[in-house]
Amino acid sequence: MTLETLAQDIAKSAEAEASAMMDAANEEAKAILAEANSKADAIRTEASSRTEREASQIAREVVASARQANQKEILVARRKVLDETLQAASDELGNPKFSGRASLLKSLMSKADKIGGDDYTVRPVELDRKALSELAGKRKVGESIDGLGGFVLEAPDGSVSYDMRFDTLLHTSWSEQLAEMNSILFD
């Protein structure tokens, strides 16, 4: 074997080894690239999925918030209607020309006759003083009190009093009947 042949064999061997190394490096590069692409796809898929979930959650929250705002507006509107209804009733009861005033006063005085004696004092709302003076019978008519109408029946020693003013009766009735009125007005 000559030196030249030996050099050629070494060169071929080196070339083959270099080619094998290049092939191995190319295969490794392809594997690394495939793994990187796979990881990138997984990251994209996860990001897309997370974005969809977050968008869906935000949409649900926006809808819930809008519903809550609508509910609040409805409740505020209902409250306004109820307040206006109560005010209208108060205005009607406080009106001196209220058509049922005389019969209501008679009814209240009849009730007073059953719960208090002749020694009780009738403390009228000024608006009803004249009518109650006539209805009081033997009872003393005392100082006027504030209110829409009616009176307070007071024991001689002041230990017991029965509030029969229109506004008190209205507010008591209003509180007791609020659920029913709500149903009548809004259902």
Closest C-alpha to 123, from 146, 107, 104: 146
Position 42 scores a pLDDT of: 86
CA dist 73 and 78 (Å) reads 8
For residue range 124-181, list pLDDT tens digits in order: 999 999 999 999 888 999 999 999 999 999 999 888 899 999 999 999 998 888 888 8
The predicted model gives 64-79 an average pLDDT of 90
| 124 burial via Cβ count (<10 Å: 0-12, 13-18, 19+) | buried
For residue range 81-124, list pLDDT tens digits in order: 888 888 988 998 888 888 889 999 999 999 988 988 888 999 99
Name the pTM for this structure: 0.63
Amino acid at 20: A
Position 122 scores a pLDDT of: 94
CA dist 53 and 59 (Å) reads 10
For residue 8, is pLDDT > 80? no
- Widest CA span of the chain, in angstroms? 155
Position 7 scores a pLDDT of: 64
For residue range 11-60, list pLDDT tens digits in order: 677 777 778 888 787 888 788 888 888 888 888 888 888 989 998 999 89
Boundaries of every domain in the chain = 1-94, 100-186
Question: Is 100-186 in CATH node 3.30.2320.30?
Answer: yes
